[in-house]
Chain A
């Protein structure tokens, strides 16, 4: 990293760093400390009742079946979405490897889903998923099949939301995998074909190992993203039917902003913080190696 010489003026640099530093600390350090403190209190925002109760919030939240469901849903969401997006991403990157006619317009079209606002995407999928007049059920009916309760069937709603996520973010995985593949010299493919290696052996012994850092990146980014997921759930199902699409962010939202149990919401937020910091550890380590 290039630095100016020692004559440079420390006060000047501190002064220009300070505004960003203060804004970030104000918006993050204060809330995090506040959350840690509040988690030890029984605090209802409406009745303004506040009482120190030690670790009790952590126990009640930890054993709350709704929170457990929310956590499990979040992990399921992250796992299913990541596996499918990575798999499809690699498949597409292999199929559309190299140059061909119309590649640029094709790729630009393919990334549309990640450009469109999540709320707009949720809206159109809600229309398509509609039980009575949605297109999907209509196709099923015209084929004499039973209509599906995409967003109203407890066993399917979560997967319907995951499907929207897959539609939205597979292009991202595709792009990353393609960038990874482009770093492989074509000769490697060629020499292994001359050796008589089959397509799948190529895939397993050459392509996948080379893509491993890209695969890891997508896994981390998608997992981090799933813990933040809120808008899609809010627009499509509001956590229902039952609690079948409740995710951790949605749980904190309801606990804090519908029931006004700020203590419980804070304890739940801390659980999420702990989970996310484990992922963050790997992520930051990877980035520090690459970018600094």
Chain B
């Protein structure tokens, strides 16, 4: 990097950097210190910038309210729905890449996938709710896993299709000449070749399901089946003053996701395609 662009990095540059960092980090810092303050300190009329007394009380209190059950629900739903989406998306993407279906089905299918990605999920909520009620999938984690395919399946198809577009055809042709069955070729050649794409897709799909709120709110009734976003909202709307507890849950729900920031950044900068996000 040379010349005109580099010379701009004067004092202003570093001041701006500090402003940006403070803006980004301050709310996160606030989550941390609110979680560490005593319940009493959290409702002082003048909020303190540093906890006067650091306590883990809020974390213990949250754990007594069934946090681990909620954590388990969130993990179970996020991982299971991602698993199903990955399997279905992988198979579908492979079919779309390697076979030309009649009636322009390849393109039509991908356009439909995009439409689903764009569609506001609220539009689907009412018919799905009435349908799921009839088949006993309301207030049921499996129902949530099924409905999360609305988000994760189009996402996985789009991402995997993008990754697999660049797979070389030669290995598959060689396997075919050797007389390997289609399924064997798929499992022993295509899966290993796409593993980095599958891993990336899995991580983002898990994050999407981990954060989902709308269908969880509509489909889950029992507190014991609540996922973490539901648990957080119940703290926001019902127990408005238990801010320490709220932020303690928030912190626990956030840390595992922040862990992937470096990876996320790498992926985002590797190539920006319109389909991302």
Contacts and interface: CB of A to CB of B under 8 A. Distances in A.
Contacts of A45: 130
B38 to A, nearest CB: 14
A34 B125 CA distance: 11
Contact of A291 (B3, B4, B275): B275
A126 B236 contact: yes
Interface residues of B, number: 112
Interface stretch (A58-66, A76-84, A264-272): A264-272
A119 B232 contact: yes
* Chain A interface bracket (under 10, 10 to 19, 20 to 34, 35 or more): 35 or more
A211 interface: no
A200 interface: no
A148 interface: no
A280 B118 contact: yes
A92 interface: yes
B104 interface: no
Contacts of A286: 274
B139 to A, nearest CB: 14
B122 A269 contact: yes
A108 B261 CA distance: 6
A203 interface: no
Contacts of A120: 31, 232, 250-251, 253-254
Contacts of A20: 88-89, 91-92, 153, 157
A256 B125 contact: yes
Given A35-B123, A123-B247, A132-B45, A235 B116 contact: no
B182 A133 contact: no
Interface in B20-46: 20-21, 23-25, 27-28, 30-31, 34, 43-46
Interface string A257-292: 100001001100100110011011001101110111
Interface in A201-247: 217, 221, 224, 227-228, 230-231, 234-235, 238
| 9 nearest A-B pairs in the assembled complex, by CB-CB distance | A20-B92, A31-B127, A13-B99, A34-B127, A16-B91, A120-B250, A17-B95, A98-B1, A20-B88
8 contacts: A3-B99, A20-B92, A115-B264, A119-B233, A138-B46, A230-B122, A231-B233, A257-B125
Interface of B: 1-6, 8-9, 13, 16-17, 20-21, 23-25, 27-28, 30-31, 34, 43-47, 88-89, 91-92, 94-101, 107, 109-116, 118-131, 146-147, 149-150, 153-154, 157, 162, 165, 169, 172-173, 176, 182-183, 186, 207, 210-211, 213-214, 217-218, 228-229, 232-233, 235-237, 243, 246-247, 250-251, 253-254, 257-258, 260-262, 264-265, 268-269, 272-275, 277
